[in-house]
């Protein structure tokens, strides 16, 4: 279970014909309460899909009873017809559940510009099927139904205080979630749809602060290919079914742990990647500086191509960070690849031959020696497979 790990939630994932492959393509997550507290963060892209425009308005009051999601079409740049499709989708969910359309959050993922009558009919059919299939253990099906180029579903569930398995159960409440995303992974939440659930008792303002703190340190620091989606959304819904009031700090820690695990899963499933690269920046004057420095490397195609070729080219790291306005002396920087310091104080250090870049997991340490702040950015290498997959995405 994932989104249904917390009490008070049911979910379903069905094949409705949105995808020509016959795979599951419509998911529904329902909060049975007693609470309907909710918060969400949306893509920072000015080009927002119709479901984002709807959901931003609908959740303004801090409440949501259901999230309906489809894969196989982004319903973005589909004009008035597309927004009407989103509205009708929310209305159909509301009819099936006996709630108001304003209580329904809507999400789509897939090819931009898809939104004809056949798409609408398939999504509405999927709503009917999903509403009839809701189950306490439907989280797995829901996670599969939101996949596009994902190779595996992303879920985050565990019991007790074991945050290492991406969930939290503290003093009687649980946090769980599911996510999709494999391409267009960049800040602005990364290209993904994420539904997080908890049975803790928490008002919308607490959920909002917890969610924003969590996404800031996790999803917003996943920068796989520097491309920002039009559909990104992360929700946090609280049912209150545990009857336990959550301490805000504990809830924030739990939500962050779940988001961090899901972000790692997104990184590991990035389109075409052969290396999962963790860029740790230490010794920065501020945390923002550390993020800017790490992101500059994550977005360097030269650096990413070098990693694909198993080349510990530390010169490309220094060239990238030198384009930022972060406070540091480029000639005081140390750079390590997989534990081998190849650059010290802006000069060559250990021989490049000592670096083994064969493993998929790749770590880069950049020590700025300018302060005490630090941050970590996740990215991937740039491969032939990534180019091929994205050149044929619409075919």
Q: Catalytic residue among 191, 197, 230, 252, which?
A: 191
Distant-in-sequence, close-in-space partners of 45: CB < 8 Å, separation ≥ 6 = 188, 228, 229, 230, 232
Partners of 10 in beta bridges: 30
Angle at 336 between CA 330 and CA 340, to 5 degrees: 145
Of 317, 290, 291, nearest in space to 302 by CA: 317
Of 260, 108, 132, nearest in space to 196 by CA: 260
User: Torsions phi, psi of 289, nearest 5?
Assistant: -60, -45
List, edge to edge, every strand of the sheet that includes 373-380. Answer: 347-348, 340-344, 334-337, 361-367, 276-284, 373-380
What is the sign, positive or negative, of the torsion defined by CA atoms of 129, 131, 137, 141?
positive
191 is catalytic: yes
Is residue 163 within 8 A of residue 254, CB to CB? The reply is: yes
Q: Which two tokens stand for residue 31?
A: 């909060």
Catalytically active residues, by annotation? 191
């Amino acid at each position: 279970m994932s989104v249904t790990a917390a009490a008070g939630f049911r979910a379903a994932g069905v094949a409705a014909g949105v995808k020509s492959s016959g795979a599951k393509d419509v998911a529904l997550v329902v909060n049975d309460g007693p609470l309907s507290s909710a918060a969400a963060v949306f893509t920072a892209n000015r080009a927002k899909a119709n479901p984002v425009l709807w959901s931003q308005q609908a959740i303004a009051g801090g409440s949501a009873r259901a999230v309906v999601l489809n894969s196989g079409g982004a319903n973005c740049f589909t004009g008035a017809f597309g927004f009407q499709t989103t509205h009708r989708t929310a209305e159909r969910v509301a009819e099936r559940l006996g709630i108001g359309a304003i209580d329904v959050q809507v999400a789509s993922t897939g090819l931009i510009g898809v939104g004809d009558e056949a798409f609408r009919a398939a999504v509405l059919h999927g709503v009917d099927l999903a509403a009839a299939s809701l189950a306490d253990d439907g989280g797995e099906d829901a996670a599969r139904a939101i996949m596009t180029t994902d190779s595996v579903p992303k879920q985050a569930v565990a019991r007790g205080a074991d945050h290492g398995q991406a969930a939290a159960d503290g003093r009687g409440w649980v946090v769980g979630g599911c996510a999709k995303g494999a391409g267009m992974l960049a800040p602005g939440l990364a290209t993904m749809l994420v539904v997080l659930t908890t049975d803790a008792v928490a008002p919308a303002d607490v959920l909002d602060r917890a969610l924003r703190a969590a996404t800031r340190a996790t999803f917003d620091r996943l920068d796989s290919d520097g491309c920002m989606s039009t559909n990104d959304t992360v929700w946090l819904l609280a049912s209150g079914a545990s009857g336990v009031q959550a301490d805000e700090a504990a809830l924030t820690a739990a939500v962050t742990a779940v988001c961090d695990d899901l972000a790692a899963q997104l990184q590991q499933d990035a389109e075409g990647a052969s290396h999962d690269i963790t860029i740790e920046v230490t010794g920065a004057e501020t945390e923002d500086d550390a993020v800017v420095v790490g992101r500059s490397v994550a977005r360097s195609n030269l650096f990413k191509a070098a990693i694909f070729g198993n080349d510990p080219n530390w010169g490309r790291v220094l060239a990238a960070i030198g384009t930022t306005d972060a406070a540091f002396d480029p000639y005081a920087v140390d750079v390590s690849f997989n534990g081998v310091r190849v650059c010290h104080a802006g000069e060559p250090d250990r021989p490049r031959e000592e670096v083994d870049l064969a493993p998929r997991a790749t770590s880069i340490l950049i020590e700025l020696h300018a302060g005490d702040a630090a941050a970590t950015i996740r990215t991937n290498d740039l491969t032939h497979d990534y180019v091929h997959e994205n050149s044929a995405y619409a075919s």
